Amino acid sequence: MTAPKQKARFGFVVRFELGLLGMFTLTLVTGCVLFWMFILGIWAGQTILQPTPGEEKSPLAKLAGALHPGTPATVEPVASPEQKKNNVAAAPEAVTPQSSASAPETEWAEAEPSVFALQVSALKDQDRAKQDVAQWKSRGYEAFSVPPEDKDDPFTRVYVGKFDKLADANQLLAKLEKEEKIKAYIALLPASRLQTP
């Protein structure tokens, strides 16, 4: 004898049945939706969060800066084959934070004045660094070197130019890349670290 069918409380029953093809289709549609969400996220990060020309910072980037204030971030570039051959290390590019009205001022910004300079090389040999400085001066550039910061850092860094504004440093960077065919990195240096010959 068969069991009697049970009646639903509300008078109707909803049932979904998917076969193998239905499961495959559902998985494919879900994967496509997630893929396009990923693509939209990358697009938003590249356009919405980046400042437009003439704008200091986008509202979302200001909010992100207010949530995570701190010291400047650095980007570690890879040394070129020529730099490796000459025992020269690639210099990190200093990225300066842009302060907003809501973001608190950091202690390092208030501690002492700083200048922008272009790092053109980092050498283990101090005599070679002095020669490098002399070569840049002979080409008509304001050049100087900065000794290693601590015992774990063996490199004497050679810089060209001293600027109060980042825009001026960017102009010299473009000139060096065009005329001298050299890759330089903009760095923010505290005035106390600068050496005058």
**pLDDT tens, per residue, the chain with 197 residues:** 566 666 656 777 888 888 999 999 999 999 999 999 999 888 877 777 666 665 565 555 566 555 555 544 444 455 555 655 566 555 555 444 454 444 444 444 455 788 888 888 888 888 898 999 899 999 888 888 888 877 788 888 899 988 888 888 888 888 888 888 888 888 888 877 765 54
Residue 66: inside a domain: no
Global pTM exceeds 0.85: no
Residue 165: inside a domain: yes
Query: Are 187 and 75 contacting, i.e. CB atoms less than 8 angstroms apart?
Result: no
- pLDDT at res. 6: 62
Residue 183: inside a domain: yes
Residue 16: inside a domain: no
Residue 174: inside a domain: yes
Domain of 92 in residue numbering reads as: 72-193
- Domain of 114: which CATH number? 3.30.70.1070
Residue 184: inside a domain: yes
β strands within the chain, DSSP E = 73-75, 93-95, 114-123, 143-146, 156-163, 185-190
What count of Cα atoms within 13 Å lies in the side-chain half-sphere of residue 190? 10
Q: 120 CB contacts (<8 Å, ≥6 apart)?
A: 132, 136, 143, 158, 159, 160, 176, 182, 184
Residue 84: inside a domain: yes
Overall number of domains in the chain: 1
Question: What 3-state DSSP class applies to 6?
Answer: coil
- pLDDT at res. 91: 55
Residue 82: inside a domain: yes
